[in-house]
A = this chain, B = another copy of it.
Amino acid sequence: MTEQTLTAQMILDTAEDVLRRYGPAKATVVDVARALGVSHGSIYRHFPSKAALRDAVVAAWLHRVVTPLRVVVAAPGPADVKLRAWFDALREIKRAKVLDDPEVFTTYGAIVAETREVVAAHVAELIDQIAAIVAEGIAEGRFAPGDPAALAAAVLDATSRFHNPAHAGEWGTPENDAAFEGVWRLVIAGLRARPD
C-alpha cells in the first residue's frame, strides 16, 4: 500500500475490520494505519480525526440498513401493505445483524452512543421513508389526513421495541413476533382512523 493508492473506502473497510476484530477501544487511527501499512498521517489526510473516522464507519454501517428500505419505499402501493413490508424488511435487517454477528452488533452499539449526529441523521432518514409511505396512504384515502412527518415519527417511536438496538436482546423469538403483530394492528388502525 502506498499513500498514493490509499482511498477513503480502503480506510473505512479496514477501520470496520479492526473494529470487528479488536473492539472500539483498539480502533484508533494508529491501529488502522498499522493494518494498512501506511503512516497515520496518510489516514488523517482522508479523515481529520479519530471521531471523523468513527462517524464515517458508523454512517457506512447504517447506510447498509437504509439502502434496501429505499427499494421498499419506491415499490408500488397500496400504502398500508407497503408500510408493513417496510417494517418486515427493517426487522429482518436488524435481526440478521444482531443474530448473525452479535459481537459486531455490540461493538457498533458501543460506538453508536458516541456518534449522536450520525445516528440522528439515520433516524431522520427512517422517518422520511415512513413519511413518504404515509403521504401516499393519505393521498390514496387509506390513511386519515394528518402531517406525514409527525405521523411517521410516532410510528417509528411506537415500534421502538422492534428496531431500537436497546431491545436487541428481545428480538428473534416467537413472542417478539406476536408482540409486533399487536403493535402493528394498533398502529395501522391509528393511521386509518378518521378524526373524531
Residues of A within 8 A of B (CB): 144, 150-151, 153-155, 157-161, 164, 166-167, 179, 182-183, 185-193, 196
Contact = CB atoms under 8 A, between A and B. Distances in A.
Q: Count copies of this chain in the complex.
A: 2
Contact of A186 (B164, B179, B187): B187
A183 B154 contact: yes
A186 B167 contact: no
Contacts of A153: 179, 182
Contacts of A196: 192
Give the interface centre of A154, A158, A185, A193 by most chain B CB atoms within 10 Å.
A158
Contact of A158 (B151, B186, B193): B186
A189 B155 CA distance: 12
B193 A192 contact: yes
B161 A187 contact: no
A151 B186 contact: yes
A161 B171 CA distance: 16
A133 B191 CA distance: 22
